Amino acid sequence: MLHILLMPLDADSSLFFFLGCADDDCCCCRWGYFSAYWKIIATALHNVTGILAYELLNEPGPGDIYDPIYYPSDRTQLLPLYEATHQAIRSVDNDTIIFYEGIPTDQYEGEYLKGSTDLLAPAGPGGSEYADREAFAYHVYCPPGANEYVCDGMIDLAWVWLNRTKDRMITGTHASILTEFGAVGDDPASVRLIDRITTAADLIKQSWFYWTYRSYGDITTQNSHTETFFYPNGTLQKNKLKALTTTYPQTVAGRPASIDFEFNRTDASFYMEYTTTKGDCNVVDSTSTEIYLNEKMWYPNGYAVHLTSTFLTKNVVWTSPQKNYIYVTHSPCGGGGEGNGITVRIVRR
């Protein structure tokens, strides 16, 4: 299924207003225009199949462009805007996920130095009622021209920052989403950077989006000839694609805290373990784990799947009804239902 993420242009585009306000009436006016814009979008598209989420504002600017010393607080300047927009969207669409993002420079500078954050604490724009229908969006980038040592340090800091911000989310927002990373080429150093970030994301089971698929003349990008999936002549950047299409579980019929998986980018071996939930005896999908694997790039001569389980192995089976996917299914009732420890190993032939 095609999933569509709806988002506006970057906040650094001239089409967007700055976040600083001289008076409350000015702020309310701007919030009203912005939230009305999103209400129109949600009204038109909330029943369209494939809509994954609404991302309210991508990379909000760090201040008033007319006041170089002005620096807003995420929670003081951004959160009220997000709350007003949340209310507008929820008046017509109560279900679609909302992504919201803090000021990127605050993530990279202020949060690292201060050791605190204010956007995520203690709840997002929807509060506790909508904690399961919103996600905190963030980006992980290295400075242009930075070497791998600098990038490694920034990536490590990004996970420290993310864990710290989540610890402060006491009453809301269960999820986070890495909505941008990469913007690199097809060379070995770029592939190592991709591997570094995606491996770290796997460890914390973090979903991500690579930037970017194709340029389309984007005025906000920096490396339009290298950072997409294609060379200027239209041929595919295969090394990059391979690095981004590693084996991973798309859905898991198990207890979230029990899920652990790892992909070896050298020999393509994949290991996963989880403890099953009971599932619904009348709903097959609630007992099926779906794993994606790129057969052409990682398993050109085929693969083998090895399963083990705490209970009888016959209660756990795997099938591959379509290319690039395997399904591991356990019995919903009786032996092999709830509490079954399952391991999955995939090796290439």
What domains sit in the chain, N to C, each tagged with a CATH number? 4-244 (3.20.20.80), 251-348 (2.60.40)
CA torsion 209-215-221-223 (nearest 10°) is: 100
Give me the tens of pLDDT residue by residue for the chain, a chain 349 residues long. Answer: 444 555 554 544 333 333 444 444 455 567 889 999 999 999 999 989 999 999 999 988 766 667 666 565 677 778 889 999 999 999 999 999 999 998 776 665 555 555 455 566 788 899 999 999 999 999 988 876 677 778 888 888 888 878 877 887 888 888 899 999 999 999 998 999 899 899 989 988 999 999 999 888 777 777 777 899 999 899 999 999 999 999 999 999 888 889 999 999 999 999 999 998 776 655 555 788 999 999 999 999 999 999 998 875 557 899 999 999 999 988 765 545 678 889 999 999 9
What DSSP string describes 143-161?
PTT--HHHHHHHHHHHHHH
Q: Give the CA distances from residue 301 to residues 17, 78, 158, in Å, rounded to whole numbers and listed in that order.
A: 54, 52, 38
pTM beyond 0.75, yes or no: yes
User: Which tokens go with 148?
Assistant: 């791998």
Q: Cβ(276)–Cβ(338) under 8 Å?
A: yes
Q: 140: part of which helix (H) or strand (E)?
A: strand 134-140
In a 3-state reduction of DSSP, which class is residue 278? coil
Q: Cβ(249)–Cβ(261) under 8 Å?
A: yes
In which region does residue 294 sit, left (phi positive, over 0), alpha (psi from -120 to 50) or beta (all else)? beta
User: Which tokens go with 81?
Assistant: 């805007």
Q: Pairing mode, if any, of strands 325-330 and 341-348?
A: unpaired
